[in-house]
Every structure is written in C-alpha cells, then in structure tokens.
Amino acid sequence: MSCFKWSPKRTASEEIVYQENKKRVAQESGKRLGLDGDPDLQFLLVGGELIKVRSNSWQKNRFYKLQEDCRTLWHESSKVHKKKQTYSIDDIDSIRKGRQSEGLKKHTNPNDEEKCFSIIFKGSKKNLDLMASSAEEADRWINSLEKIISTMHNLDYQQKSEHWIISCMKKVDKNNDNMMSLKEVKDFMRQINVEVDDDYAADLFKKCDTSNSGTLEGSEIKEFYNLLTQREEINVIYEKCAQTEGLMSARDLLNFLLNEQREQVTIEHAQKLIENYEVDAAAKQRKCMTKDGFLMYLQQEESSIFNPAHKKVYQDMSQPLNHYFISSSHNTYLMEDQLKGPSSTEAYIKALMKSCRCVELDCWDGSDGEPVIYHGHTLTSKVLFKDVIRAIKDFAFKKSQYPVILSLENHCTLEQQKTMTRHLTSILGDALLTKPLGDTMPTNFPSPEELKGKFIIKGKRLNKLDAFFSKSNTIVEETVSEEDEAAESKENGQKAKSKKTNMKLAKELSDIVIYCKSVHFNSFEDARDKQAFYEMSSFKETKALQLAETSPSAFIHHNMDKLSRIYPAGSRTDSSNYNPVPLWNVGCQIVALNFQTPSKEMHINQGRFLPNGFCGYILKPEFLRSPSSQFNPNNKTWPNKKIFHVMVISAQQLPKINKDKAKSIVDPLVRIEISGVPADNASKETKYITNNGFNPMWNERFQFTINVPELAMVRFVVEDYDTASYNDLVGHYCLPLTSIQTGYRHVPLLTKRSDVISSAGLFVHLMLIDA
C-alpha cells in the first residue's frame, strides 16, 4: 500500500515561489551550521526511502528527509491524522550501525546486518529501527546523520541560542513567508516562554519595522533578535571591567580573570582568549575585547561552572580498586519498575553508555536449557542471558576503558550455571578475568589501570583464591549459603525461606569469581579477622544506612581494604532510589541505584561521576583511604570549613513545561542544594519570577558553610512555581564542589532524564573562601 502523501493546494506559480523559499531557508540553515553546500547535508535534505522495522510482519517503506531548518527529521505517514511525523535532531542520542538494537536482532535477517541501523533517542522514546536498500546507502545515511548530530552538538552556546530562537520563529511563521507580522511577534514571544503586554510587543515591533511595511523581514528580524537577546547583566560586568577607552584590553581581561574568576593565568592567556573569541576584527587587531567578544568568551566551555580540566581522566588510576567510588546499577535489566516492567538488553546498553561500571544480572533457569534474566517471582519480562552478555561485550568499553563488574544473582540449577559459564567465557573471551594477575597470591586489589578492558565476575565461590597457587585444587563443599539479595528476592516472592539456605554451585562458575567473592556479613570485627580482601558483602540500603549512622568509623576502615555493595530495598517496587551520599561518606564503593528511574538521587549519582573523564571511577578522598584516618562524617565540629557564596543572577531560554498549552509560560525559581556530611546538607531558593522563562533575572545571594568540601555535592534546580500543586522540574545540574570553577559562570541545564537542554542555562557568581 502506498503512503498517503499530503501537500497544501497551491497554484503552479505559488508552488515555484514556495520551493524557492524552502531552498533559501535550507541554505541559510546550512550556513549557520557551517555546512553550506556540504554533500552529506544535501543528501539528507533530498531524502529517500528506508524500511521502518517494528516486527516480523510490520516492515514498511517510509520516505525520510531532513527539513529545511536542518534540525528536524521528517517522514511521511499513512495515518491521515498524522500527515507528517518529525524527530528533532536535538532529541537523537546516537546512531547505531548494524543490527545492534533488540528490535533489529529479533525482526531482521543476519544477512542484512550491513543494511541496518537504529536511531537511538534520548530519554524514554523508543528506538527507530531502519533498513536501507544496500550497505552503501545505509552508510550514507549513518555518516550524514552523525555529521549533523556532531555539528549540532559542537555549536557554541551563542550558536545554539540563535538556532533555538530561529526555530521558534519558524513555528509562528505559518505561511512560510519569512516575515513576521505583529500577531506573529506576539505568538513568538509566548513560544520563547515570555509573556509581554500588547503595548510592549507593539513598541518592540515598531522600533524594528524601519521600513514601515507592517512586517519584519531580513535585517529587521536581525535587529529584533539583537534587542531580544540583550544581556543587561553582562553589560554591567563589562562596563565595570573595560577600562581602556570603553574596551576591555588584554590587561583588563587579565585583571578580570585573576580577581573575579580566580584563575591563575598570564597575560598571554588573556591575549589568546581575545584571539579566539573576539568577533570584531579591528578590536582583535588592537588586542582588545568588545562586549560581544566578552559574551562569546563567557559562553564557552572554559567559562562553564564545571572545571574543564576534570573533563578528562585526571586522577591517579593506579591505586587498588577499593580506593574508588564505582558507578553501579541495580536491576540493570529493567526499563521500568520491578513488578511488571520490561527486561531488555537496551537497559544494559543505556547504563553502560552512562559509564556505569557495575551491572547486575539476576539469573534464572530458562526453557531449552538457556538461562534468562528477569526479576524473579514477578511479571517482568525475560531476556536471554547470552543476549545480555553479547550486549555488554559490545558496549562495555565505548565510554570508558576501566573494568566492568558483572554482579551475578544466581538462582540457576547446576546445568544452567554451566551454560552461563560457557557463554561468559566464549562471548567475553580474553576480556574475562579468569585468574588473579601475577604469579603469586595477591594481598590487595589490582588497580583500574591494570584492569583496563577487563570484566570481573562478582558472585559465590566454593574455595579460597589461593587455590590457584596451590597444587591441591580440591573442592570440599559443592554448596554455598544463599543469602543477601538472592534470598530476599525469594522472600519478596512470598516463598518463606530462612536467610541461610544452601544452594549448589557449579565449579566452572565458581572458578571465574576472582576479586569479588560474595560472602555474608556478620560484623565488622568478624570481617576484619576472617575475611580476605577479595571477599565482599552486599548490604540492603536500610542495613547499610544504619551501619553508616551507628558505626561510621568501623565502616570506613572496613572499606579501606574490602569492597562493599549497597542495593535498594526490595520494597521499592516502583524502582525508586535511596540517597547514595551517606554511603559514599563512609567509603562504600558500589552504591547501586536504579539507573532506569530518573530522580534526584540519580542526578546526584551522575554528578558524582561527572569528573575524571566520566569514566565511572572516582578516587575516594585521602581520609577515606588512609588507615591512620580518624574521619567521622557525623562529627559536629570540623577544622577546615569553607564558606560557599552563590549569587543566582539570571537564566536564559528555559524550556516550556506544558508545550501543549500555547499560552503556558513558566514562573521560574532556582534552588541550590548541598548534599554531603550531615552538617553540610542544606537547601536555599530564590523568589519566583512571573511569566518569564526567556531571560528571568534574580540577583539573589546565598551563603553556605561547607565543612567537608571533598564530599559535598552541589545541585542547581530550576522549577516552575505553582501555587496549587507541586512545582514542575524545568532543569537541573549537579557536580562535586571540588569540580566547580568560581567567578562568573554559566550553568548548563539537564532534563529529568539528564539530557542536555541545548539552549538553556543559568548565570551565576560563585566564591569559595576559608571560613
């Protein structure tokens, strides 16, 4: 059946004008991207047919093309009420080549591997699985789309802002004439999230309509854009610092960098900034910075709140594994809740692509002798163990080269345990750690650096690790105690069993458990006297939080030579999360959260692992590693306090929350939250601004006492104030205090699912001084 194709009724001459107009718009959009005349862009603008794959029976030809704004992918639809379907390029996370999605693996032939690709979207939107007519055509689509996505991603803040504003203009330009009437200007103001009265809109319009034509076009729209994006707060800072004939000389800029930004830099660095960011050639020749150049500099990555030096791996990665916080996931296989949500290999891919370094596999007997992964005794769907291991193998080291721990919750019979071992060894190959490093019995963990590219199995083991180095490798027992999370999952399934039942363990599976042998926790004294360094315990959140409260010093010293894994209580059937901070405060390394559940706790987790190249490993502070440490997070007095000053100045281009309601404008407020040792936990917020999400201004100052800076997390939250119900989240950003740059800084904003909101941000001033 051919697709229903809709187009408006136009005369032949109108159609010619319309098509010429579209070409002109596409050319302007391409220029703004720096891709004017680029063959890959032209290929996408022309478009072509691809097969959309949904199931074995639903595979249909659809025409896809890039729209003239160069930021929207369009495809025709057979549904009359959905004449066209669009996907924003901003919403695409990545392009995945080959049959690398669950859908394509299930519903296409292995022989079509080279023709297939998937568009992976941010957030919870389903993948778009596609197949081209040939491998060459698939490569052309993949390369062209990746070029557009990369180009959009690498635009600077000002370019992203301009793109966003122009796209909003296009939405109100219903007749596509590239002109703006007064009515369209009013609609546009609402589109960009600001409510203005009619008189203000009319005045702004009149000021820009220099031709008195009753519409804005060309240079008039540019003037309208300039008036709209004036940053009064930047003008004030610039005028204060520009001491050289109304301009900012390299010396003026250096003074600003030293005194306001607290950066230890030289005059050469200031000159380089002028060279890089000044937009006026005459000013650049004089080694001066104009206001526009200054704004350009303030919108670059080096002026962000996040220290760019921490974007790469900068910490010592040669210390023992247990000296690091490790980004860890619980029930990794779940896409939603743990009662009836779907299990999927996609959930593992998403976690690994967020640099998660410890994933969980709940293994149960499946049909046809093939073990499966799902949340036992629930209605969650099942996924084959071998499919999960293949997905982990393919995606484990794309974001980070540091080791991945596979935490096995083993409920399988001996036969299927042997099958699990076969899959692990055959699929992971040499990357699977099957023996200790070195030729002698180790007394400590190897480092993340030594374990690069390796998979470590966490699970039960029948004997001690030194069996590898003794001539007698006999197994006295074939059973191990079944406790902790594995037993709890049976309790939750209403199967009354004592916590210490025994289960049979296959020797093959036991033998590949090296540095992460699961053992039952009795007490810190028992662990100190009887546990080897590689024997680790898992703690339910309630037990762990209780120990962190009552025995913090003992817990800290336990984690100095052993690993601890914390997992959410089984009562969290909605897959909600607990607060990880108190457990990091006592040195727990593997604090496992439900990655599939966007929440404040996950925002803090992502913020904790943002520095050090986002590699999934963060070196613990020295006082959580040194045996002589007397650190106690519950102390009431601290020797090295800091005072953290925050001035929330303004925000730019906040997104609309209720996009369906044309007249809905946000009333934004900003909250600053500190999470760390109990004495540091605090929260303060600004007043709310009525009906302005485009350029709200607060200029409000706050002060926080920070007792332990090394453990403090700072979270900025922007909310839409509501008198009648809970405030809606507009955006957030979280990072460690130790990775913050002081001075005037832009703060990027993320969605609830932690995707970047490309044009939005906060502008703040920060100071951190000794108390």
Task: Evaluate whether 50 touches 130 at the Cβ level (below 8 Å).
Answer: yes
- The per-residue b/e assignment along 106-138, b for 16 or more CB within 10 angstroms, e otherwise, is ebbeeebbebbbbbbbbeeeebbbbbbeeeebb
Does 70 appear as a known binding residue?
yes
DSSP H or E run through 62: strand 59-66
Q: Is 665 assigned to a binding site?
A: yes
Distances, alpha carbon 425 to alpha carbons 312, 398, 428, 431, in Å? 32, 20, 6, 9
Phi, psi of 409 (to 5 degrees): -105, 100
Q: What is the torsion angle, in degrees rounded to the nearest 10, for the CA atoms of residue 346, residue 515, residue 603 and residue 154? A: -70
What CATH topology corresponds to 12-154?
Answer: PH-domain like (2.30.29)
Pairing of strands 535-540, 564-567: parallel
pLDDT of residue 98: 95
CATH topology of domain 232-303: Recoverin; domain 1 (1.10.238)
More confident residue, 281 or 574: 281
Strand pairing category for 501-504 and 48-53 = unpaired
- Confirm whether residue 52 is marked as ligand binding: yes
**381 in a known ligand binding site:** no
User: Mind listing the pLDDT tens digit for each residue in 589-603?
Assistant: 999 999 999 999 999
Q: What is the DSSP letter of 368?
A: G
**DSSP at 150:** H
Q: Which fold has domain 158-228?
A: Recoverin; domain 1 (1.10.238)
Q: Taking Cα atoms as reference points, which of 748, 700, 615 lies closest to residue 306?
A: 748
Q: Which CATH class is domain 321-467+477-624?
A: alpha beta
**Where is pLDDT greater, at 179 or 93?**
93
Query: According to the annotation, is 57 in a ligand binding site?
Result: yes
Q: Is the pLDDT of residue 5 over 60?
A: no
Q: How confident is the model at residue 83 (pLDDT cuts 50, 70, 90)?
A: low
Residue 250 burial by CB count (10 A; 0-12/13-18/19+): exposed, middle or buried? buried
The count of residues in the chain is: 771
Residue 76 in marked binding region: yes
Name the strands in the sheet holding 728-736, side by side, starting at the edge strand that comes first in the sequence.
Answer: 682-685, 668-675, 713-720, 728-736, 743-750, 756-770, 642-652, 697-706
Q: 756 labelled as ligand-binding?
A: no
Left, alpha or beta for 494 (phi > 0: left; psi -120 to 50: alpha)? Answer: left
pLDDT of residue 205: 86
Confidence of residue 491 (pLDDT cuts 50, 70, 90): very low
In the predicted model, what is the mean pLDDT of residues 480-497?
A: 52
Residue 578, annotated ligand binder? Answer: no
How far is C-alpha 755 from the geometric centre of its chain's CA atoms?
Answer: 6
Count of Cβ atoms closer than 10 Å to residue 719 Cβ:
21
Asked if residue 627 has pLDDT above 80, the reply is yes
The encoded tokens of residue 430 equal 């040499």
User: Residue 197: what pLDDT?
Assistant: 74
Provide the phi-psi class of 614: left if phi over 0, else alpha when psi is between -120 and 50, else beta.
Answer: left
Mean pLDDT value across the chain: 90
Backbone dihedral angles phi then psi of residue 347, each to the nearest 5 degrees? -65, -40
Q: Which CATH superfamily is domain 642-770 in?
A: C2 domain (2.60.40.150)
How confident is the model at residue 79, as a pLDDT? 64
Q: Is the predicted pLDDT of residue 495 greater than 60, yes or no?
A: no
Report pLDDT digits (tens) over 379-407. Answer: 888 999 999 999 999 999 999 999 999 99
Q: Is 72 annotated as a binding residue?
A: yes
59 assigned to a ligand binding site: yes
Q: Which of 332-346, 481-495, 538-552 has the lowest mean pLDDT?
A: 481-495
Q: Where in the sequence numbering do the catalytic residues fall?
A: 330, 375
For 413, phi and psi rounded to 5 degrees? -75, 170
Does 6 carry a binding-site annotation? no
Asked if 274 and 296 count as a contact pair (C-beta separation under 8 A), the reply is no
Hey, CA dihedral for 86, 92, 97, 103, is it positive or negative?
Answer: negative
Which residues neighbour 721 within 8 Å (Cβ) at sequence distance 6 or greater?
A: 667, 668, 669, 688, 727
> What three-state secondary structure class fits 112?
helix
The verdict on whether residue 38 carries a ligand-binding annotation is no
* Cα–Cα–Cα angle for 26, 91, 306, rounded to 5 degrees: 110
Binning pLDDT at 50, 70 and 90, where does residue 661 land? low
The answer to whether 60 is annotated as binding is yes
Collapsing DSSP to helix, strand or coil, 765 comes out as strand
Q: Tokens for 8, please give them.
A: 């408006």
In 467-616, where do the E strands start and end? 479-482, 501-504, 513-518, 535-540, 564-567, 590-593
Q: Is 112 annotated in some ligand binding site?
A: no
* Range from 9-18, 23-32, 506-515 carrying the lowest mean pLDDT: 9-18
**Is position 21 annotated in a ligand binding site?**
no
571/575 Cα distance (integer angstroms):
9
Tell me: is residue 494 an annotated ligand-binding position: no
Rg (CA), the chain: 29
Helix, strand, coil in percent for the chain, rounding step 5: 35, 25, 40
Question: Model confidence at 33, in pLDDT bands (50, 70, 90)?
Answer: confident
* Mean pLDDT of the 24-34 span: 84
Q: 409: annotated binding-site residue?
A: yes
- For 322-357, b/e burial (b = at least 16 CB within 10 A) is bbbbbbbbbbbbbbbbbeebbbbbbbbbbbbbbbbb
Instruction: Give the CA distances from residue 487 to residues 289, 292, 636, in Å, rounded to whole numbers and listed in that order.
Output: 66, 63, 39
65 is in an annotated binding site: yes
Least confidently predicted of 145-159, 520-534, 568-582, 673-687:
145-159
Residue 216 assigned as binding residue: no
pLDDT tens column, 436-456:
999 999 999 999 999 999 999
pLDDT of residue 76: 80
Identical fold, 158-228 and 232-303: yes
Q: Which residues, including other chains, have CB under 8 Å from residue 404's CB and lie 6 or more apart?
A: 352, 357, 358, 359, 392, 396, 397, 454, 455, 456
For residue range 499-519, list pLDDT tens digits in order: 567 889 999 999 999 999 999
Check the annotation: does 700 bind a ligand. no
Specify the DSSP class assigned to residue 323.
G
Domain ranges of the chain: 12-154, 158-228, 232-303, 321-467+477-624, 642-770
Q: Percentage of the chain surpassing pLDDT 70?
A: 93
Residue 372 confidence (pLDDT):
96
The gap between the terminal CA atoms of the chain, to the nearest Å, is 74
- Say if CB 350 and CB 383 are below 8 A apart: no
- β pairing state of 617-619 and 682-685: unpaired
Judged on CB neighbours under 10 Å (0-12, 13-18, 19+), 197 is: exposed
Binding residue per annotation — 460?
yes
**Residue 305 pLDDT > 70:** yes
Please name which of 766, 759, 760, 763 lies closest in space to residue 674, comparing C-alpha atoms. Answer: 766
Written as one string, the DSSP assignment of 654-722 is: PPPS-TTSTT----EEEEEEEESSGGG-EEEEPPPPTTBSSS-EEEEEEEEEES-GGG-EEEEEEEE--
